[in-house]
């Protein structure tokens, strides 16, 4: 199929977690021409493809937008790092590769917020469609999809299993598969790694589609705005190789630029809150007050301990060890280079009266920072812990008609007292878990927060200075039908013909978990909606819910 010059059936802006999925699904029957525009370039770097090198692309300007927030008033006015993928695969090429769908109730919550057709029963078939689970398909897991998912090195380090056992000893459940019927509990963690390589959406979805004659991909293309005529999207204006070009569309423009990029592009196109647009010198072409609002993210901090046995990965951080790990990975695609090292985890509730888990653990058998540097000399381990159902809300707002000027990003982290309360629970519950007998052989001194951090005031002060983003910005173009909704349940921008948004920005609320899996699911389902296909039949697979949640914080204990 030949593609007419500068005219396409669909134009997708952003070759990220959602955009690569759409590029594949919209071209697979050969009936439609698709243009995929990406500001970044190739993802062929070893630092992207080797899972253990995950800290490098996230902190490299070539591969990620290095956004910073405005001073966050409830975090001692700290500016927070907000990297977003700027490469084929988008944030799936720079993230930690953790595969968490979220709790079933998260998607039921979406439906209750007005996203009709996005309940768990509607979403589960698309999670299954997307993945190839290393241990075979069932009512919850897929085994025929593009996205390879596994458990890395199968928890060979003894610290992983000790952490799981400590959670069970503390009165929590054990879960063999938190992405199936039961999220709540402690168990193995899953990652988007296939045959030892990062299995980004560029690898899983885009590469198989690149040979199709009806797909054109342009990298290093910066979209300036959506071109509108009479409140209809007719194309995009983009910059490539120093010149401005216009690409026209027969059917639809689809923004998949992420929770920072998509609202910013809508605003640059004259779609948004008139007051925000006027302040930036942009004419309002369509008033839509919810654009850029409702911004949410996950925060986390590192709970760090010294390790009494020489089993942690801290002894693998030297140059010679890294060389050996890298060499083995290059030759065989296995070993410590083939995992993100987050191989066990936990999902628990912060207090009685919380219906489904709102706290998440990533366990790491090392004590180090996201930039890959050691936190201290010697052996250690750490837990990444965060309160995952925040009630604080922020915004993304255009500040200039110049598309090269970054938007204002303000999360208002910890503005709501419930969020501060959730992090106090993180500190106190984690100490209970790590002090269980299963950790006795490994648990050394508490390095962070430190045993002097005990009272609410001390915990709050520690969290304000130590907490970091988990890099899950979302919800800034929320799906629904209320006055602040940006897209309808079909992912169409309210009031504009021929324009959709498909990425994590359309989540009504943030799920309890990492966002790559639900973003891919959203794109899979949106691809059917865009093509007018009947959605996959809803699943009837049951969900396991803990009884007595109104009175108990954990299943195996009295009220706490």
Range 529-538 contact pairs with CB under 8 angstroms and sequence separation of 24 or more: 529/490, 529/491, 530/10, 530/22, 530/26, 530/252, 530/254, 530/491, 530/500, 530/502, 531/25, 531/26, 535/117, 535/122, 536/125, 536/126, 536/129, 537/125, 538/119, 538/121, 538/122, 538/124, 538/125
* pLDDT number for residue 315: 85
**pLDDT tens for residues 483-502?**
999 999 999 999 999 999 99
What SS3 state is found at 203? helix
Q: Residues within the annotated binding site for FAD? A: 87, 95-98, 223
Average of per-residue pLDDT values in the chain: 96
Phi, psi of 418 (to 5 degrees): -60, -35
**Residue 61 and residue 95: Cα distance in Å, rounded?**
14
Q: Residue 23: which residues within 8 A CB-CB, separation 6 or more? A: 12, 15, 34, 36, 205, 206, 209, 215, 217
Q: Please list the residues that pair with 302 across neighbouring strands.
A: 384
Asked if 185 and 346 touch (Cβ cutoff 8 Å), the reply is: yes
Determine the angle formed by the axes of helices 158-169 and 417-434, rounding to 10 degrees.
Answer: 110
**pLDDT tens for residues 196-234?**
999 999 999 999 999 999 999 999 999 999 999 999 999
The predicted model gives 429-453 an average pLDDT of 97
**Residue 217 and residue 204: Cα distance in Å, rounded?**
16
Structure tokens at 134: 């290393």
Instruction: Give the residue from 315, 281, 228, 236 showing the smallest Cα distance to 397.
Output: 281
User: Would you name the residues annotated as active-site residues?
Assistant: 472
Phi, psi of 277 (to 5 degrees): -65, -40
Asked if pLDDT for residue 375 goes beyond 90, the answer is no
Angle at 19 between CA 13 and CA 24, to 5 degrees: 125
Asked if pLDDT for residue 344 goes beyond 80, the answer is yes
* pLDDT number for residue 377: 77
Q: Residue 378: which residues within 8 A CB-CB, separation 6 or more? A: 306, 307, 314
Q: Residues within the annotated binding site? A: 87, 95-98, 223
Asked if 19 and 90 touch (Cβ cutoff 8 Å), the reply is: yes
Asked if 326 and 517 touch (Cβ cutoff 8 Å), the reply is: no
Determine the angle formed by the axes of helices 417-434 and 456-466, rounding to 10 degrees.
Answer: 100
Q: Residue 217: which residues within 8 A CB-CB, separation 6 or more? A: 15, 23, 35, 36, 38, 88, 206, 210
Its pTM stands at 0.97
Lowest mean pLDDT among 108-122, 367-381, 396-410: 367-381
Q: Tokens 């709050």 appear where?
A: 460
Please report how many Cα atoms fall inside a 13 Å half-sphere around the Cα of residue 5, on the Cβ side: 1
* pLDDT number for residue 558: 43
Which residue ranges form the domains of the chain, and what is each CATH number? 152-188+299-387+414-466 (3.30.410.40)
């Amino acid at each position: 199929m030949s593609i007419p010059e500068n005219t396409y059936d669909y134009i997708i802006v952003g070759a990220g977690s959602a955009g690569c999925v759409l590029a594949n699904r919209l071209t697979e029957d050969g009936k439609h021409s698709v243009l995929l525009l990406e500001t970044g370039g190739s993802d062929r770097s070893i630092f992207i493809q080797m899972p253990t090198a995950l800290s490098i692309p996230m902190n490299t300007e070539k591969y990620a937008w290095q956004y910073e927030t405005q001073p966050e008033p409830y975090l001692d006015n700290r500016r927070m790092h907000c990297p977003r993928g700027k490469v084929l695969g988008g944030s799936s090429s720079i993230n930690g590769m953790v595969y968490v769908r979220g709790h079933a109730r998260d998607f039921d919550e979406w439906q209750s917020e007005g996203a009709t057709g996005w309940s768990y029963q509607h979403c589960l078939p698309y999670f299954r469609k997307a993945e190839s689970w290393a241990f075979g398909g069932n009512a919850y897991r897929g085994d025929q999809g593009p996205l390879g998912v596994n458990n890395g090195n199968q928890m060979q380090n003894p610290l992983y299993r000790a952490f799981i056992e400590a959670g069970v000893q503390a009165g929590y459940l054990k879960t063999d598969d938190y992405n199936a019927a039961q999220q709540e509990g402690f168990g193995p963690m899953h990652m988007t790694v296939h045959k030892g390589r990062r299995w980004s959406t560029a690898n899983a979805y885009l590469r198989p589609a690149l040979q199709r004659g009806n797909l054109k991909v342009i990298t290093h293309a910066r979209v300036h705005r959506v071109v509108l005529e009479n409140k209809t999207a007719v194309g995009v204006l983009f910059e490539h190789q120093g010149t401005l070009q216009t690409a026209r569309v027969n059917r639809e423009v689809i923004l998949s630029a992420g929770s920072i990029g998509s609202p910013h592009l809508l605003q640059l196109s004259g779609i948004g809150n008139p007051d925000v647009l006027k302040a930036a010198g942009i004419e309002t072409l369509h008033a839509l007050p919810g654009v850029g609002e409702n911004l949410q993210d996950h925060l986390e901090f590192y709970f760090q301990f010294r390790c009494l046995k020489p089993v942690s990965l801290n002894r693998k951080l030297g140059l010679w060890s890294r060389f050996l790990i890298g060499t083995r990975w290059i030759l065989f695609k296995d070993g410590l280079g083939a995992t993100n090292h987050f191989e066990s985890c936990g999902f628990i509730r912060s207090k009685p009266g919380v219906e489904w888990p709102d706290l998440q653990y990533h366990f790491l058998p090392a004590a180090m920072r996201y930039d890959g540097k050691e936190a201290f000399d010697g052996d250690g381990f750490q837990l990444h812990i965060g309160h995952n159902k925040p009630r604080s809300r922020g915004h993304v707002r255009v500040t200039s008609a110049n598309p090269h000027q970054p938007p204002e990003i303000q999360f208002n982290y910890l503005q709501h007292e419930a969020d501060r309360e959730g992090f106090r629970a993180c500190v106190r519950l984690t100490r209970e878990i790590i002090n269980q007998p299963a950790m006795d052989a490994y648990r050394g001194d508490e390095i962070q927060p430190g045993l002097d951090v005990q009272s609410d005031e001390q915990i709050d002060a520690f969290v304000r200075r130590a907490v970091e983003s988990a890099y899950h910005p979302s919800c800034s173009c929320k799906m629904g039908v209320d006055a602040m909704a940006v897209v309808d349940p079909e992912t169409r921008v309210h009031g504009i013909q021929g324009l959709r948004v498909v990425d994590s920005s359309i989540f009504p609320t943030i799920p309890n978990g990492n966002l790559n899996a639900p973003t891919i699911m959203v794109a899979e389902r949106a691809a059917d909606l865009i093509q007018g296909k009947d959605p996959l039949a809803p699943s009837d697979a049951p969900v396991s819910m803990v009884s007595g949640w109104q009175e108990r914080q954990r299943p195996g204990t009295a009220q706490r």
